[in-house]
A and B are shown apart, each in its own frame.
Chain A
Amino acid sequence: MKKLLFIISAIVLTACRGNDPVLTPDTYDLGAPRDASTFAADEPHGFFLLNQGNMGSNKATIDYGDFVTGKYLRNIFPSRNPSVVKELGDVGNDLQIYGDRLYAVINASHKVEVMDLEAHRIGQIDIPNCRYMVFSGSKGYVSSFVGGIGDADSPHGAVYEFDIQSLEVTRSVSVGFQPEQMALMGNSIYIVNSGGYRGYDNPDNYERTVSVIDLASFAVVRTIDVGAVNLLRIAADEQEQLWILSQGDYVNTTSTLLVAKPPYDNFENLNIRCSNFALHGDKLYYYDGNAKTYGIISTTSHSVINTSFITDGTDKTIDMPYLITANPSTGEVMIGDAKNYVSSGTLSCYTPQGSLRWRVTTGDIPAALAWVKPE
């Protein structure tokens, strides 16, 4: 009996723990392969998807969808960069392609990862608690919750400027509390402030402002009160209108969409519950994660023209919409489903008519998508 136990433990000892290999991608089908000649001139040949991963899990991952081969590769970073210690990082928040490079904001790893368009690592820029990016000329601009100004318990946020060649931070400017997304309008950056940390304990402390940064002087030249709290997203449409998403305070006020025409003095509150939106032409696609509704707003009339653009009933199979973006050429709408935040999500592609074209399994919490433009 005892001998047997020792034999068992000896087997266990030698048999059960081998090498720990880096993860290799899983492959899914996106549809039939397409010849490059069948793409429209401005039509993306593919896209990168950044999955957030739950905080502390170190599971930010990048997937690649290739329309030419019709393949979707899940989690390409570790196998293409096997020597990067602890892989891509913790909590991916924003993904952009600028020039011939792919940039990923990894929030809880406090860095922007810089890659080529095959997702091979080029370098990184260390920026604390970084959130979103925009690019202009030879510079990238990253919003961050940490600006170092104000009292130590409640620092203002900042925008950091980095040089895309040297990957060094060149300038920074302090903005409001916990700033989020930015929109580049000419020589100005419009950045929304959320006050997310301050409002966490007291809803009265959420921010309701947009800071306007002049790129030349890199100073805040104007602060606009938009009349709604806890701002997360901002984007400009074709008519140079600025659209802003207010998340509400989760207690007394609900989320809503705001819009203003130049010079952006007065924001109109559309009183539409909204969790995220995407602009395409004269349409704004949005969803409300509470009610699980998917609607369209006309950017010209500011009125809701469709309260449920998914027409084939597959909206019922989306548990937690987290990402929405439109294919700039085809107008197809991509919706990311974060499920329960701690398991694989999905990415669904809807035709402009609202029927499901394909759906693939993503990493945990699909959060940002970048289109690969034709060369």
Chain B
Amino acid sequence: MSHWGIPIPWEGAESVLSQKTCRRFIFLASVSRKMLSSKSITYRLLLIAALSFCAVGHAMCQDSQHIDTVLIEQTTALDEVTVIAAPLDKDIIVPQTLSGERLRSMNSLNVADAIRYFSGVQIKDYGGVGGIKTINVRSMGSQHTGVYYNGIQLGNAQNGQVDLGKFSLENIDEIRLFNGQKSDILQSAREFGSAGNVYLTTRRPKFAPGRKSHIRASLKAGSFALINPSMLVDVKLTDNMSLTMNAEVVHSNGRYKFRYRKTTPDGTVAYDTTAIRHNGDVNAVRAEVGLNHYYTSSGYWKLNAYHYNSERGVPGAIVNNVWRNGERLWDRNTFLQAQWSDEFFNRWTSKVNAKYACDYTHYINNDTRLLPADNEYLQHEAYISWSNKVMLFDWWDIAAAYDIQYNGLRQYMTADRLSQWYSLAAAFNCKGYLRAQASILGTTVTDFADKNKKIKAQTKTTTQFTPGMFFSYQPTLRAKFKINAFYKQAYRFPTFNDLYYTDMGAADLKPEKATQHDVGISYDADFKNAKVHPDGTGLTLSINADYYYNKVTDKIIAYPKGQQFRWTMLNLGLVKIHGVDAKATADWDIGKGWRWMVTAQYTYQDARDVTNSHDNYYQHQIPYIPHHSGSVTTMLQWKGYSLNYSFIYVGERYNQQENIPANYVQPWYTHDLSIAAQWGIKDVKLRVNADINNLLGQDYEVITNYPMPKTNFRIGVTVEY
């Protein structure tokens, strides 16, 4: 079963029946009419490649085909074959995952805090509980990363950014990050459109045998006057249908001490000052209701309503003579989403996603010294997607999807957009040796002329096609060594702000394009020898490393206009990114209830601005991307007790384009420690967490002039029944 409860034909037992056929080829790539008519050389090449692969693949897979067919129709044949247990990561694209106990034990408050431990990821963090936190995957920019909540994308047509700090981990069961795209080709067309995808999955209701309900209450409290109570109730309506309700409140005054210290070149203290961060308070309420019905083993529908309401201060930059700011922000995010999926004739799986979202933002600037601002923004989004996957053979799946979405922005700015995505994809698996996936996505975006007189925009339609190809090769099924590679293009369309914001927007912007190339290896070793340790103890190791080369062309950047300090948006950036992500995980079941897990990840990024050789930052590392970053997390567990330690390192980087001392930003590294204990008394489970973050009290900034908190504490109590 895939992670989404949808069967994938090759997930599960692998047959070695057709050993003689061996190298089953696979190809993929589907061809659309638009592609055929395209004059683009790229598409023609792709087409030729796809057709030749198709022919070769067909020929090579031919003789095994009837065996596969027999297998499907005569499942009893399986009895006669040796079954090799499938590696857990049967995915072509191996995601980085945080889930279950690992996720809970981190005791992070929000998604951004947890996702920092992924490789290839930079989080922009403006500090504190209420500060904006956005994700940037492999230096392509936050707008190239899609964030999905229970399978449907979280959007913000206005600025294209998703503030992960607003998404509580309280009800999240799993976070996964895919570079490129998800392995399962049964996905909405839009999912093919991002350069990287983050999937947030909420807990699926689980009931103890004989119970019709499940209740969980928790309370977190800590530094910055944090109080975070939450409540969850699951109700089993029928054997297959359940209702889940979840609500939480987050309050924090956002006050913390921060310190700026500089020395003279000879090392004596130049200045050393400590102050308190103001106007970083946040008050937020989140409420969710979900209804799930798994009416057959393959068919289900889900309804999910989400509401988030918050007021916060925007603490602002700390600059000379300015120690507090007066900006306030109110957010109200509401969405209703529905999903249905079923499988027919054991071959065809169909899925429908639908969503309506309404986002209201109110921004004011109370600082009487500055530009008075009192702006309201109201966004509506309506989305529907229909995706289908057909298993042609047990080694070849094809999929097609169509999505349509409306976005509207009202009040301070008026803008409307209709987006359509249509995708074709295919996935191949040659007996587990070689897997491949190919997809082609068409995106058509229509921006409607605004009646607002300030904006001289005309209705404009842009269509782009983007292919993706993914391979994974495992030389032998017995050793879990794999080589994987992918190539993918993705566009990010200009946001409403890029197009229309006061006189800064430029309505003639083209989409920004990201092209990714990746090769990687992975190795899983299992030292659990059942003969030596029949109790199941032992060590598993997993190591993977990827090299990638990304290119961002027509990058949308703010550029000065001719007048004093008026900016405009231009398609003027070119960035080339070479990077390495490496990750190693060891999981040692020591026995007698002891278990030790450690994960280390390292990221190297060389992301250079190569827009114009006349710029004095030509070939300099782009802002806020460190060359080196990494993390180590480890958990020692004994029965219901666990001790966790996390270390994060982000190397030196620059806060503007030029890599000069004036723009230098110091590396930062923090140590976090937490303990958790869990006790069960009959049906009641009690869990207590205590954390110390930034143990050594490092004074650091992720974004220049936005100081981060020193050592801070949090405790949490959870009761489940």
Contact = CB atoms under 8 A, between A and B. Distances in A.
Interface string A18-29: 011111100000
B74 interface: no
A84 B669 CA distance: 27
Nearest to B372: A153
A197 B371 contact: yes
B369 A128 contact: yes
Contacts of A282: none
Contact of A108 (B319, B563, B632): B319
Q: How large is the interface on A (under 10, 10 to 19, 20 to 34, 35 or more residues)?
A: 35 or more
Contact of B669 (A17, A106, A276): A17
B265 A24 contact: yes
B591 interface: no
A90 B319 contact: yes
Interface in A158-210: 197, 200-201
Interface string B528-565: 00000000000001000000000000000001111111
Nearest to A127: B369
Contacts of A251: 454, 503
B471 to A, nearest CB: 28
Between B565, B615, B698, the greatest number of chain A beta carbons within 10 A of the residue's beta carbon is seen for B565
B320 A106 contact: yes
Nearest to B572: A340
B265 A21 contact: yes
Given A58-B320, A85-B271, A85-B273, A344 B369 contact: no
B662 A59 contact: yes
Tell me what chain A mostly uses at the interface: helix, strand, loop, or mixed.
Answer: loop
Contacts of A128: 368-369
A301 interface: no
A128 B660 CA distance: 31
Contact of B657 (A56, A85, A342): A342
B666 interface: yes
Contacts of B652: 16
A152 B368 contact: yes
Contacts of B651: 16
Nearest to A290: B562
Nearest to A60: B320
A289 B265 contact: no
A153 B270 contact: no
A94 interface: no
Contact of A56 (B372, B616, B705): B705
Interface stretch (A1-9, A31-39, A212-220): A1-9
A248 B566 CA distance: 12
A56 B705 CA distance: 8
A111 B662 contact: no
A21 B586 CA distance: 41
A57 B371 CA distance: 18
Interface string B257-280: 000111111010011010000000
Contacts of B262: 19-22, 82
B658 interface: yes
B559 A340 contact: yes
Contacts of B319: 56, 58, 86, 89-90, 108-109
B647 interface: yes
B202 interface: no
A232 interface: yes
Interface string B562-578: 11111100000000000
B650 to A, nearest CB: 10
B427 to A, nearest CB: 34
Contacts of B668: 17
Interface string B644-686: 0001010110011110111000111100000000000000000
Between A90, A109, A364, the greatest number of chain B beta carbons within 10 A of the residue's beta carbon is seen for A90
Contacts, number: 185
B219 to A, nearest CB: 34
A16 B562 contact: no
A358 interface: no
A12 B658 CA distance: 25
Contact of B321 (A2, A56, A109): A109
B696 to A, nearest CB: 9
Contact of A17 (B369, B503, B586, B666): B666
Contacts of B270: 21-22, 82-83
Contacts of B273: 85
B109 interface: no
B560 A17 contact: no
Given A86-B318, A251-B503, A23 B662 contact: yes
B522 interface: no
Contact of B317 (A20, A61, A90, A289): A90
A9 B632 contact: yes
Given A58-B320, A86-B320, A363-B662, A343 B657 contact: yes
A167 B102 CA distance: 60
Nearest to A321: B562
Contact of B560 (A90, A201, A340): A340
Nearest to A249: B503
A19 B369 contact: no
A88 to B, nearest CB: 7
Contacts of A23: 661-662
Contacts of B369: 110, 128-129, 145-146
B705 A58 contact: yes
Contacts of B655: 57
B502 interface: yes
Given A2-B586, A275-B563, A343-B616, A109 B666 contact: no
B658 A344 contact: yes
A288 interface: yes
A191 B686 CA distance: 70
Contacts of A361: 616
Contact of A19 (B263, B562, B656, B698): B263
B638 interface: no
Given A89-B320, A106-B321, A289-B562, A84 B263 contact: no
Contacts of B669: 12-13, 16-17
A4 B261 CA distance: 33
Contacts of B649: 9, 12-13, 16
Interface string A27-70: 00000000000000000000000000010111101000000000
Given A5-B632, A24-B265, A343-B617, 9 more contacts: A6-B632, A12-B649, A21-B270, A54-B656, A85-B271, A108-B322, A110-B322, A340-B615, A341-B567
15 contacts: A1-B586, A2-B598, A17-B668, A22-B265, A23-B662, A57-B655, A61-B662, A75-B662, A82-B270, A86-B260, A88-B320, A90-B322, A129-B370, A247-B564, A343-B615
Query: Nearest 4 A-B pairs (CB), nearest first?
Result: A290-B562, A89-B320, A82-B270, A289-B562
Interface of A: 1-2, 5-6, 9, 12-13, 16-17, 19-24, 54, 56-59, 61, 75, 79, 82-90, 106, 108-111, 124, 126, 128-129, 145-146, 148, 152-155, 197, 200-201, 232, 247-248, 250-251, 255, 275-276, 288-292, 317, 320, 322, 338-344, 361, 363-364
